[in-house]
Amino acid sequence: MVVVDPARRLLLWVPRDIWCRSFGDRVNTAFARGGHGLLRAALAEIGVTIAHSLCLRRSAVERALSGLSLTVPVPAPLDLLYPLTPLTNIQDGRKIVSFRPPEERLEGERIHQWVGARQSVFGRTGDLVRIERQQVFVRRLLETGFDFGSVIAEPGRISMSSPAALEDAAAVRCHWRFATLDDARPARIQGKEVLVRPGALVRRVMSSRAYRLLAVFARRLRGLLLRRVLIVPSWGVMAARRRVRLLAVLAVRNGMRYLPGYLANVAPHVDGIVAIDDASTDGSGALLQAHPAVLEMLRVPAGRTYWDEVGNYKKLHAAALRHGAEWMLSLDADERLERGFRERAERVIRRGRRLGLRVFTVKMRELWDDLDMYRCDGIWGRKRVSRLFAALPNHRFDYRPLHSVKAPQQGRVAGQFIGADLEIYHLHTLRRPDREARRDRYKALDPGAIWQPGIGYDYLADESGLRRRRIRARRMYLENGLDRRE
């Protein structure tokens, strides 16, 4: 919904998900339930006063835009989830649609993908984010002189409360300001994900300059606290009993180099392993199948040549739930757990439950040149990965094809996953040839660093400013029953 304000030369977008208490539904249902009268009343309830209203059928917009070809700016890579077809529900099937800088040419279905997709593969999601793209699109229509008269060419496709509505709409020009009613907050009412706008007094306070400055400071402080300060401790005097059913999930392709050590290291810390062999040709599948800790062995047909990271993980997640997982631990074949990990994890889970936490990040120690030394300078010393998380039937997946987060997206707190005092070790960074091969592989898979913006992949083999630190004895990892220092 867009409110035209000729006096202020303003177009104001109203999110469709704002909740109206008077009739117990979202504001976008008002016209269907009570026509123009209820629509005006619903907008007034949330603090938006209108004199006239004009409603268009979807078919009117589609007819007017048919044959249109329009270029829009794309400042940053966009990857969105979209239904398989424009007229189907996203719950019945989805695909990823991508838009790449610096600009995209929109025509046909691509127009609806741009203005209609609500869910991001990763990053900001929802109606407010979609509105930003809609504003870009409308601005470009105005700038290019689009004939808006074609939208109302057929009276049967529109409904007006008064002809004056057309007069106000016809006054809009490309230099007008665009704004969004963006002070609503997410909520869940009657099982629906909605937005709730605060009352008039609260809105006046929130619109003040002092409040806005304080809000910016609070967001930055909250982010700092969540990332750097709030770390759930894992220490304890008494031995922690195993209280949760913790299963490890593993996707592997040709991992024989690391699998024996993985099984020796991980199996003692978990109640079972669920694995998927992605068309290995080196015997990885047979080794996993024969190990007593592996509860279920999934296999990808040998003919598949591409790596389906998200698809593999969705299968692993479903299998882990079948085997009664309460918590999951996602590790690659070349990663190892610290000594005493299970006891530490039990304490973290128990303490986190009191705070309602369902996902934890762990410290990633990248081994460098020696088995007991890890790199600690720059980005290497800050690496955390979300690998320990509750097994949720309604797990919200990250659909990025590379570097996807395995933890459920609803486990974030204020946009962040909470850290735990737990450590894992990565062996694939140990040798220079492996580091260089890893860099080259990712650069080939993602040449523009689309899936790792701002970081890229050159750093994986760059030794500028290299600093290493020795693993503490009490946090050393075990493999094949041996302390790696031995």
pLDDT tens for residues 358-417? Answer: 999 999 999 999 999 999 999 999 899 999 999 999 898 887 778 889 999 889 887 789
Q: What is the CA radius of gyration of the chain?
A: 27
Residue among 205, 139, 221, 194 nearest 20 (CA): 194
What's the pLDDT band for 483 if we cut at 50, 70, 90? very low
What's the pLDDT band for 485 if we cut at 50, 70, 90? very low
Q: Which of 34-38, 300-304, 399-403 is predicted most confidently?
A: 34-38
The Cα–Cα gap between 76 and 133 comes to 12
Residue 241 is predicted with a pLDDT of 80
The Cα–Cα gap between 405 and 407 comes to 6
- Least reliable range by pLDDT among 26-30, 229-233, 256-260, 459-463: 229-233
Query: How large a percentage of the chain has pLDDT more than 90?
Result: 60
- Going by C-beta distance under 8 Å and a sequence separation of 6 or more, which residues neighbour residue 449? 455, 456, 457
Long-range contacts of 363-368 (CB under 8 A, 24+ apart): 363/419, 363/422, 363/423, 363/424, 364/424, 364/426, 365/423, 365/424, 365/425, 365/426, 365/471, 366/426, 366/429, 367/425, 367/426, 367/427, 367/429, 367/430, 368/429, 368/430, 368/466, 368/468
The Cα–Cα gap between 462 and 436 comes to 9
Q: Which two tokens stand for residue 109?
A: 């279905």
- The better pLDDT of the pair 206, 139 is held by 139
Residue 220 is predicted with a pLDDT of 67
Indicate the fold that domain 231-483 takes in CATH: Spore Coat Polysaccharide Biosynthesis Protein SpsA; Chain A (3.90.550)
What's the pLDDT band for 482 if we cut at 50, 70, 90? very low
Residue 8 is predicted with a pLDDT of 92
Distances (CA, A) of 93 to 125, 171, 315, 422, 453: 18, 41, 16, 37, 28
Report the chain's terminal Cα–Cα distance, integer Å.
67
pTM (global) more than 0.85: no
Average pLDDT rounded to a whole number, residues 27-31: 94
Residue 224 is predicted with a pLDDT of 61
CA angle 451, 457, 463 (to 5 degrees): 155
Domain ranges of the chain: 2-210, 231-483
pLDDT digits (tens, 9 = 90+) for 411-465: 988 778 999 999 999 999 999 999 999 999 999 988 878 788 788 999 999 999 9
- Going by C-beta distance under 8 Å and a sequence separation of 6 or more, which residues neighbour residue 485? 371, 372, 473, 476
Domain 2-210 architecture: 3-Layer(aba) Sandwich (3.40)
| Helical ranges in 2-54 per DSSP H | 30-45
- The better pLDDT of the pair 42, 209 is held by 42
